[in-house]
Amino acid sequence: MIIAEHLEQTYTSGGRPLTVLHDISLSVEPHAFLAIVGPSGSGKTTLLGLLAGLDRPSRGTVWLDGENLNTLSEDDRALLRVRKVGFVFQTFQLIPTLTAIENVLVPVELQTTAVNHGEAVAHAHDLLERVGLGDRTHHYPAQLSGGEQQRVALARAFANRPKILFADEPTGNLDAETGRAVIDLLVQLNREQQTTLVLVTHDRALADRAGRVLRLVGGRVASGDGRIAS
Amino acid sequence: MSDWRFTLRMAAREVRAARRQLALYASAISLGVAALVAVTSFRTDVTGALHEESRALLGADVELRSRSPFEGEVRDLLDSLRAADMPVASLTSFGSMAFAPRTGGTRLVEIRAVSGGFPFYGSIVTTPAGRWDRLEDTRIALVDPAVLVYLGIDRGDTVRLGDAAFQIDGTVDRVPGEIGLEAAIAPRVYIAERFVDETGLVRFGSLVRYAALLALPDATAAESFVDEHHDLFQQSRVGHSTATEREENMSEWFEVLSRFLGLLGLTALLLGGLATGSAVHVFVRRKLQTVAMLRCVGAPQRTVFAIYLLLAALMGLVGAALGVALGVVIQHGLPSVLADFVPLDVEPRFRLVPALAGFGIGIWVAVVFALLPLLDVRNVSPLQALRHAVEPALRRRDGWKVAAHILILATVIALGVSQAPAPVVGLVFAGAIGVTTIALWATARVLTLGARRLLPTRAPYVVRQGVANLFRPHNQTTPVTLAVGFGVFLLGTVFLVQRNLLDRLAFESGSDRPNLVVFDIQSDQVEGVRALLADASVAPPQVTPIVPARIAAINGRPAEELLQDTTESSPGRWALRREYRNTYRDTLVPSEEIVAGRWWDGESTGAGRLARISIEQELAEDLAVGLGDRITWDIQGVRIETEIASLRRVDWARFELNFFVVFEPLALAAAPRTFVTLANVPDDMGMAMVQRDLVTRYSNVSALDISTVQETLQRLLESVTLVIRVMALFSIGCGLVVLLGAVATSRLQRLHESILLKTIGARIPQVRSILAVEYVTLGLLASLAGTVLAVAGGWGAVTFLFRLDFRLPVLSVLALVVTGVAATTAVGLTGNRGLVRRPPLAVLREVAE
């Protein structure tokens, strides 16, 4: 589902080149659950961003569902994401001006192919129902607690029936109990929807639930080989 | 779902969430559109009314004018018209003193004596109504309302004009074709022409204008009548105009006036554009996370760009629609504000074309100015959704940005040229806007860099923090400098020009300056007037002779022949046709200097030589003459040939008795002449007494109290500047919106900052002081920049437009700077009000959620 070869990412910081990822290769099979762990600044989020096509690597190649991201323009990569990728962020990233259901619908509305709107709304309702927010569909993010916001974000991540889900510290801003509930939901939805899940986390307990764990230190793979099977 | 439906939907949701904020920004556009629509609609109203009532403007189809009674062939022509039952009216005008026996009040007025059923078209509105019809049959006078005020009398009282007395039967409220300005300078008194002789006012030397007014079947007939007799009129020095020509002249005059006002409206609109630009900037900054997230989940660049472009267009649409509505309301109020400048009653009507134009221009300006900040949306990386610290990718040489800049430039130039009275003025306007913007922008840059460089490291913490705010990321230095600077610049320029003109008047009326002009004194009255004035005046009055004359020939070529000559080097018609009021003297006066040739310093003309004259240099140019050329004068039928011995430069702005042509004394010793004198009468009581004594003793002598002229000019100047200020206020309103927008940009950031400061122990006064330091510094620099530009603008206008020496009223300028600082600080502190009082915990929770 995902293949990365010899990824290297260098940023310019304060006028000096700063390499945050060194020669990383990995592959993720369909329906697998990969957790990327490591201390702060080890390059976890950068790797996630490269795998999702949010940025181009300085060197190396990423194939996402058979497509070479290097050969795609920015808009083509966006198109690929809207069709096949879901996102969960540490800071939830709900649009404050949209209600819960409207937030969930955004990825569907961005589809360029014809979508049955009624069906999409029903699906969104269903997803919010599944994350336990069936009675709060018309609330704005500011009217929801942190856990509730992240559950809306989960519903949004699954709204376009993605093949791959990227999650960046999804429990990082939540207390332990709420975090656990969110992860239960994430794992459950992942299993039901047959999604490939790539997750960045600090949380050992969460990493333990992954099929494979890739540990990064200083931008290099410290443990867990590149091959992760389901 | 297709792209555009998503775009529409997202834009609609953004509107839903920020209605009030967007309305504020839309109001900036609406102010500019309102000013533009009001001025252009009103212009259409006035030019339309002028066209519809062009015959009423003249009261006739053709007007013939002369400085002397119609004689010879012209009189025969008029007689033949009368014989053919064609209506011919006449209007004789001259200045004279009006004296009210009951109150003793005196005032220089313009007497208009009518006969023959003037006006043929349009009607003269009187109070009580319908009194005009009785004018020609009875010994009554109809007067401008101002005359009653000046003389302290009422309707029914008697007014003396020269040797005749008239009962005031009513006031004249509206004469079509005359603008209020004229009445303000010399209020009018209408009488029947048959009483003119009885007044004894038309004597030798009186400045009298004779007009004959004709009614013809239509405009074509008027045109052909004038064409047919053109040569005769030319030779007889008779001026002429048709109703159509008058309409064209007035339309043109009004067009120029209203287009200058239109430029002020345009300034407001451009500031409105700036406000939209900064609004979009604020909006986009707040939406960066949303934009990054949308990009993350797969929204293409163009979709995200389109959402916010649509939002800007929507803001423009709402603003422009509101602006059109407001503009129409203002349009209906303009006739009363501009009454003094409009030659007839105007019925404001809704004008579709200016309304549509304003609407379209409003939307266009909003979109064009929104483009620059919107283009930044394209640079938002989807990575920003994952980590905040990602710097937006900088694109060097962004073609779109260059295009957006060019589009803004083209818009400013196109709008300037289309609104201005002439393309050059439009270009100058666009240039001035450009220079001002660049200067203010540069000031902001210098301020940002300077604050960083010169940050006082030893100053108290609040000062350092306040100054540091000027260059921190996402600072608001540039928009605030532009908004405040522009406001101060506009207000300051108008103020400085007005102040310089008023100062000039005040300077001339210093206590040691003459304040009374007495003229039309006949030779046998000179001694009496001199004696009368000697008692009242501080300094002995100087009596100056005046010899009325016309040009009969130049270098032997008769004036009639020269008037036919249309080659470029021929003398100007005006200069040839006019009646000159010349003088003679031995010495130069302080307001003039010789620029060529020699002055006759007491030396007498040799026998048999031509009499020498000195001529004002610009007149010499008009007449196409120079040193040594010969001018033959016609002085009451006697011809005197003269030679130009010198050219003078005259400072007309100085209140002296200045003359175009000065003769050497001997040449005019025997010529018929009148006299004029200046006196300095110290107090108001004395002034009133002198005028009354003069009028009762010498009924034909006129006196003009300079202070009344000054008051009139001052009032005029004030009404002009009022109109300009009202238009400038629109711009300042827009500037305020820009300022509020800038304050709003950083409000969230400030909220975090003040919470942090309070959490670690800052007291509320300290947090407030930081804000105050920041806004005072910003306001000070922006106001200083605006003031420097205003001084430059004011200097340019006073020096080149009004040709006066520029004086800088330092205290007033300082007051302007203080006002700018106060306004900036007030808006800044108000915009952030409540922020410092919020408890940190509540806000922390809010921010975290």
User: Could you give phi then psi for residue B831, rounded to 5 degrees?
Assistant: -60, -30
- Going residue by residue through chain A, which has 230 residues, state the pLDDT in tens, using 9 for 90 and above: 899 999 998 887 667 888 889 999 999 999 999 999 988 888 888 899 899 888 888 999 999 999 999 998 877 888 888 888 888 888 888 887 788 998 898 888 877 676 778 888 899 999 999 888 989 999 988 889 888 998 899 899 988 889 999 998 888 888 888 888 888 888 888 888 889 999 998 888 888 888 899 999 988 988 775 544 33
CB atoms near residue B597 (< 10 Å): 16
Residue A76 CA neighbour count, 13 Å, CB half: 9
CA B250, CA A180: separation in Å to the nearest integer?
Answer: 84
Q: Which of A133-147, B595-609, B827-841 has the highest mean pLDDT?
A: A133-147
User: pLDDT, tens digit, for every residue of B800-828?
Assistant: 877 778 888 899 899 989 988 998 899 88
- Give which of B754, B735, B732 is closest to B839, Cα–Cα: B754
Hey, is the C-beta of B317 within 8 angstroms of any chain A C-beta? no
> Closest-CA residue in chain A for B5?
A109
% of chain B at pLDDT higher than 70: 92
3-state class of B228 per DSSP? Answer: helix
- The pLDDT mean for chain B works out to 84
Centroid of chain to Cα A45: 10
Centroid of chain to Cα A67: 18
Is B5's CB within 8 Å of A109's CB? yes
Give the residue-averaged pLDDT of B352-368.
93
Q: How confident is the model at residue B396 (pLDDT cuts 50, 70, 90)?
A: low
CB-closest option in A54, A146, A160 to B383: A54
Query: Model pTM?
Result: 0.73
In sequence order, the 6+-apart residues with CB closer than 8 A to the CB of B217 are none
User: pLDDT, tens digit, for every residue of B701-751?
Assistant: 888 887 777 777 777 777 777 777 777 777 778 777 777 777 776 777 777
User: Could you give phi then psi for residue B47, rounded to 5 degrees?
Assistant: -65, -35
% of chain B at pLDDT higher than 90: 22
User: pLDDT, tens digit, for every residue of B617-639?
Assistant: 999 998 889 999 999 999 888 89
CB-closest option in A81, A97, A142 to B849: A142
| Residue-level pLDDT at B192 | 94
User: pLDDT, tens digit, for every residue of B519-561?
Assistant: 889 888 999 998 888 888 777 778 899 998 989 999 988 888 8
| Residue-level pLDDT at B655 | 67
User: Closest Cα of chain A to B4: distance in Å?
Assistant: 10
Given a cut of 90, whether residue B483 has pLDDT beyond it is no
Chain B residues within an 8 Å CB radius of A79: 298, 300
Given a cut of 70, whether residue B1 has pLDDT beyond it is no
Given a cut of 50, whether residue B327 has pLDDT beyond it is yes
Give the residue-averaged pLDDT of B214-234.
89
Q: Which of B450-454, B514-518, B778-782 has the highest mean pLDDT?
A: B778-782
CB-closest option in B16, B300, B385 to A93: B385
| Residue-level pLDDT at B652 | 77
User: pLDDT, tens digit, for every residue of B643-695?
Assistant: 999 999 988 766 678 899 999 888 887 888 889 998 888 877 788 888 888 88
| Residue-level pLDDT at B227 | 92
> Closest-CA residue in chain B for A13?
B391
Question: ipTM of this predicted complex?
Answer: 0.74
> Closest-CA residue in chain A for B390?
A11
| Residue-level pLDDT at B849 | 38
Q: Which of A110, A116, A148, A199 to mutate to test the interface with B (most CBs of B within 10 A)?
A: A110
Is A74's CB within 8 Å of B301's CB? yes
| Residue-level pLDDT at B203 | 81
> Closest-CA residue in chain B for A113?
B1
Sign of CA dihedral B605, B610, B616, B620: negative
| Residue-level pLDDT at B473 | 67
Let me know: does A127 contact A88? Beta carbons within 8 Å: no
CA distances from residue B398 to B41, B276, B404, B407, B441 in whole angstroms, order as listed? 41, 22, 10, 14, 20
